[in-house]
């Protein structure tokens, strides 16, 4: 029994190539997320904010994400795909899922292809949304800087350096950089990227912009360090009737940071109204961590109040430091344990393991439980079935053990974490049987 299941990766045939895609939701409106320079639809779920972003879109749309040919889980190719070939891939996916018309949501380098597709096949595009985009790639950087930029990018590929312009707010966190490094490596090899970058430089759909006749929304963050906001403004100016919304703060990827306004603007543009009432906006996807000090009452009696208070203070300080290091939110201390949330399940598991090791050093063995699901934000507190589930999972764990639900193991697949099956359990107050797994240090 889980609140969320990782979308299954499927393949559509586009000529001789297989294009990997995922479908999330079952609403009558289809929305296709067109990726930028690189992607990996499985590993993206491990990056902060991505899964929650798709989940919010799936409130009103059937959301389709894919890896373009040559990238991620799609077939590798010689050279780099042209815009025409990438259009073929989108049509192949639409045909595979039985979609006659769809909303195109282009991100970054995915914007020019989305423009070309909408102008070429207006009967298959209901709405065009362009986030962090541009019309002509050569405008992004002067010619004299381009060659050195490419060489520097290739030299550092696989080390996570792209995070500095894509998500600069996370660049100071070593774990985030390590995640981005793996994302780069899984998305593309340096040699393939070199070809893509040189072809990318030639992209120019400026002459096509005036021919776009479908409703268009252009979105851009003023602080985007990857694509200048001036290019987003210019893009909107040359598309007839395009709406333009500029956000004062934000990174290059649409799913990073506070996305409430973005989701509301997209939903209103597509459906004509916002379902994002205050109640709905307080429900988010998160990984919940519960910890508990083993035999706390017996130990308190054994060592005395003063020594016990000192140990509890040390425990609380460690919890604050380690949860913060893993970019989690420490919701509260439960007296002899902690409750925290994370927007990435991999970080949550690593935090639980690190916290358990640290508290063992001061003689306080922990047990921990994790579950990923939708939670309700109640001021400084949280609630919902996912919170109860994480508590029940923790209740099954032994001393110095981190137990997780099956959904957590599915969401961190490929993240380098290891688990051992602990069996199937009935969890008090929750329906069905739950498969639980112990994370291995």
- Whether 290 is in a domain gets the answer yes
- Whether 4 is in a domain gets the answer no
CA-based nearest residue to 8, from 436, 410, 341: 410
| Residues 249 and 351 reside in one and the same domain | no
- Whether 26 is in a domain gets the answer yes
| Residues 237 and 105 reside in one and the same domain | yes
Among residues 230, 260, 280, which one ends one of the domains? 280
- Whether 63 is in a domain gets the answer yes
| Residues 131 and 238 reside in one and the same domain | yes
Tell me what the mean pLDDT of segment 181-192 comes to. 92
CA-based nearest residue to 73, from 434, 413, 429: 413
Label the pairing between strands 30-34 and 62-66. parallel
Asked if pLDDT for residue 144 goes beyond 80, the answer is: yes
- Whether 1 is in a domain gets the answer no
What is the count of structural domains for the chain? 2
Asked if pLDDT for residue 117 goes beyond 60, the answer is: yes
| Residues 58 and 204 reside in one and the same domain | yes
| Residues 276 and 324 reside in one and the same domain | no
| Residues 272 and 394 reside in one and the same domain | no
Range of the domain at 86: 9-280
| Residues 57 and 119 reside in one and the same domain | yes
Q: In the structure, what pLDDT confidence band is assigned to residue 1 with cuts at 50, 70 and 90?
A: very low
- Whether 424 is in a domain gets the answer yes
User: Which tens digits make up the pLDDT trace of 346-371?
Assistant: 999 999 999 999 998 888 999 999 99
Contacts of residue 309, Cβ cutoff 8 Å, sequence gap at least 6? none
Q: How far apart are CA 162 and CA 47, in angstroms?
A: 14
| Residues 147 and 161 reside in one and the same domain | yes
CA-based nearest residue to 78, from 87, 70, 86, 67: 70
Among residues 252, 280, 308, which one ends one of the domains? 280
Q: What is the mean pLDDT of the chain?
A: 89
Q: What is the distance, to the nearest Å, from the Cα of residue 332 to the centroid of all Cα atoms in its chain?
A: 25
User: Which tens digits make up the pLDDT trace of 311-340?
Assistant: 888 888 889 899 988 888 898 887 788 999
| Residues 116 and 233 reside in one and the same domain | yes
User: Which tens digits make up the pLDDT trace of 279-290?
Assistant: 444 677 889 999
| Residues 305 and 360 reside in one and the same domain | yes
Tell me what the mean pLDDT of segment 252-263 comes to. 82
- Answering whether pTM is above 0.85, one says no
| CATH code at position 66 | 3.40.50.1820
| Residues 381 and 315 reside in one and the same domain | yes
Residue 295's pLDDT is: 83
Among residues 247, 280, 313, which one ends one of the domains? 280
Asked if pLDDT for residue 419 goes beyond 50, the answer is: yes
- Whether 193 is in a domain gets the answer yes
- Whether 51 is in a domain gets the answer yes
Asked if pLDDT for residue 299 goes beyond 50, the answer is: yes
Tell me what the mean pLDDT of segment 390-396 comes to. 94
Query: Where would I find the H helices in 11-156?
Result: 50-57, 83-96, 110-120, 143-156
| CATH code at position 372 | 3.30.70.1230
Residue 4's pLDDT is: 58
| Residues 126 and 197 reside in one and the same domain | yes
Q: Which string of b and e fits 202-221 if b means at least 16 CB within 10 Å?
A: ebebbebbeebebbbbbbbb
- Number of C-beta neighbours around residue 308 at 10 A: 18
């Amino acid at each position: 029994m889980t609140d969320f299941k990782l979308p299954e990766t499927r393949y559509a045939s586009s000529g001789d190539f297989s294009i990997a895609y995922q479908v999330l939701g079952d609403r009558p409106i289809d929305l296709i997320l067109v990726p930028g320079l690189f992607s990996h639809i499985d590993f993206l779920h491990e990056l902060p904010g991505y899964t929650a972003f798709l989940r919010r879109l799936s409130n009103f749309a059937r959301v389709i994400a894919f890896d373009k040919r040559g990238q991620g889980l799609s077939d590798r190719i010689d050279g780099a795909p042209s815009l025409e070939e990438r259009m073929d891939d989108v049509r192949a996916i639409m045909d595979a899922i039985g979609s006659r018309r769809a909303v195109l949501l282009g991100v970054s380098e995915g914007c020019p292809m989305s423009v070309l597709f909408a102008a070429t096949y207006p009967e298959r595009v209901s709405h065009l949304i362009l986030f962090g985009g541009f019309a002509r790639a050569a405008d992004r950087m002067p010619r004299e800087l381009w060659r050195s930029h490419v060489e520097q990018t290739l030299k550092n590929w696989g080390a996570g350096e792209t995070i500095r312009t894509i998500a600069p707010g996370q660049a100071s966190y070593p774990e985030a950089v390590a995640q981005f490094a793996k994302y780069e490596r899984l998305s593309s090899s340096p040699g393939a990227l070199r070809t893509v970058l040189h072809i990318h430089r030639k992209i120019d759909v400026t002459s096509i912009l005036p021919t776009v006749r479908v409703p268009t929304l252009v979105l851009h963050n003023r602080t985007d360090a990857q694509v200048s906001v001036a290019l987003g403004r210019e893009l909107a100016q040359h598309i007839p009737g395009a709406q333009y919304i500029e956000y004062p703060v934000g990174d290059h990827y649409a799913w990073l940071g506070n996305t409430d306004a973005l989701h509301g603007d997209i939903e209103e543009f597509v459906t004509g109204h916002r379902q994002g009432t205050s109640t709905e906006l307080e429900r988010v996807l998160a990984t919940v961590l519960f910890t508990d000090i083993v035999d706390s009452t017996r130990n308190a009696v054994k060592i005395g109040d003063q020594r016990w208070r000192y140990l509890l203070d040390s425990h609380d300080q460690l919890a604050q430091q380690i949860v913060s290091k893993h970019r989690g939110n420490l919701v509260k201390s439960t007296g002899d344990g902690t409750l925290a949330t994370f927007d990435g399940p991999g970080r949550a598991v690593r935090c639980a393991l690190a916290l358990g090791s640290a508290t063992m050093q001061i003689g306080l063995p922990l047990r921990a439980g994790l579950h990923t699901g939708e939670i309700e934000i109640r001021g400084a507190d949280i609630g919902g079935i996912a919170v109860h589930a994480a508590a029940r999972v923790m209740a099954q764990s032994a001393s110095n053990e981190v137990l997780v639900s099956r959904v957590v193991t599915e969401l961190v697949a490929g993240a380098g974490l290891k688990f051992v099956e602990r069996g199937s359990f009935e969890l008090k107050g929750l329906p069905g049987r739950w498969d639980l797994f112990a994370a291995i240090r």
